[in-house]
Amino acid sequence: MKYNKLIFGSLFSLILGTLIYILFRSSSLKVFSWLDLLGINILECNIRKSALAVSYNIPDWVLLSLPDGLWLFSYVCLMLYIWKNTITVQNLFWIGIIPAIAIASEVAQCFGILQGTFDPMDLLLYILGGVLPLLIFKNSINYKLKFQHHEQKF
């Protein structure tokens, strides 16, 4: 049952982030030309036109930052699902690498190390997207963070 919640959390946040992105974001983004190559012209879809008509009522952070936070949430949930809700020294890297890259890239933008515009809301939602799955599912996560000493016999 606990694994079903992880996969649901992963899929729900992935879909919600994607819907926000394709319904409300600028038509100049690359994703729309990629979809067009696949024969999917979302720009002319009535649901997108209706969404854009009400987008002025939605805060910018929801439209611009929330999708990335939701995608990080989705990734962490998926990693926890793949690793059967167990965090070990061996899999901690894989669970944390994408959130760490996202957070580090935003911090690097702040210091001019990477090109881009630092946005504190992006940083906050990256952190939340990486940490919230660990907090939400904390009672079912099995932490095994001690190094295991394995004797090898030759």
Element housing 132 (H / E): helix 120-136
pLDDT tens, residue by residue, 39-80:
999 999 999 999 999 999 999 999 999 999 999 999 999 999
What integer is the mean pLDDT of 4-33?
95
| CA 24/CA 20 separation, integer angstroms | 6
Mean pLDDT over the full length of the chain: 92
**Which residue has better confidence, 37 or 146?**
37
pTM above 0.85, yes or no: yes
| CA 6/CA 9 separation, integer angstroms | 5
